[in-house]
């Protein structure tokens, strides 16, 4: 058996009048990510981490933001697609660890639901998905509440 790791990162600007969707869950907040799809930074960074670990490119390769098919798309679909690509190459998802950075709102209370939604999309158990929340201590665009970002590391095994 061999093990491979992949890293993913994403950032979206936050604007009024957009739904805030993180980890497949809609959170009550007055701003949301600007993006072609639903702008779910956590799902996007996770998708890149998984694809990277498998050597399968990145989210833009598979879901170009010029394709009208993905306008407003639920980003959990990207994760489901990535899961299938991994399975085709005989990779199994061992663990996914993530940091989501946003000044507001508080994410921790929503983590159980996010882990459940992400685990379902990836066909794994929610204890294989670990989520952490950080603020940016008021510094830079994230600290001013103008953006949300996520970093994810994924570990895969193959037989
Ligand atoms: Mg994105």
**Span 119-140, pLDDT tens digits:** 999 999 999 999 999 999 999 9
Round to whole Å and give the CA distance between 52 and 5: 8
Ligand 1 centre and the CA of 72: distance in Å?
12
Mean pLDDT of the chain: 96
Q: Is the pLDDT of residue 9 over 90?
A: yes
> Which long-range contacts does 82-89 make (Cβ < 8 Å, 24+ apart)?
82/47, 82/50, 82/51, 82/56, 82/122, 83/50, 83/121, 83/122, 83/123, 85/51, 85/54, 85/56, 86/50, 86/54, 86/56, 86/156, 89/54, 89/56, 89/158
Ligand 1 centre and the CA of 159: distance in Å?
31
The pLDDT tens digits of the residues spanning 80-124 come to: 999 999 999 999 999 999 999 999 999 999 999 999 999 999 999
Q: Is the pLDDT of residue 159 over 80?
A: no
The model carries a pTM of: 0.96
Residues with CB under 5 A from ligand 1 (ion): 10, 44
Domains present along the chain, CATH in parentheses: 3-158 (3.30.1330.50)
The pLDDT tens digits of the residues spanning 52-77 come to: 999 999 999 998 888 888 888 899 99
Residue 110 is classified by DSSP as G
Ligand 1 centre and the CA of 148: distance in Å?
10
């Amino acid at each position: 058996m061999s093990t491979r790791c992949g890293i993913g990162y994403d950032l979206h600007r936050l604007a009024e009048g957009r739904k805030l969707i993180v980890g497949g869950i809609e959170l009550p907040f007055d701003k949301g990510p600007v993006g072609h799809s639903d702008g779910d930074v956590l799902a996007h960074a996770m998708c890149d981490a998984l694809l990277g670990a498998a050597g399968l490119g990145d989210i833009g390769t598979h879901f170009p933001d010029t394709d009208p098919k993905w306008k407003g798309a639920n980003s959990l679909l990207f994760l489901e697609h990535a899961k299938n690509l991994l399975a085709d190459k005989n990779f199994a998802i061992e663990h996914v660890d993530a940091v989501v950075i946003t000044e507001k709102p508080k994410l921790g209370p929503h983590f159980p639901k996010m882990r459940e939604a992400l685990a379902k999309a990836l066909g794994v158990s929610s204890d294989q998905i670990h989520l952490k929340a950080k603020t940016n201590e008021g510094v830079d665009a994230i600290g001013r509440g103008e953006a949300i970002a996520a970093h994810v590391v994924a570990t895969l095994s193959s037989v």
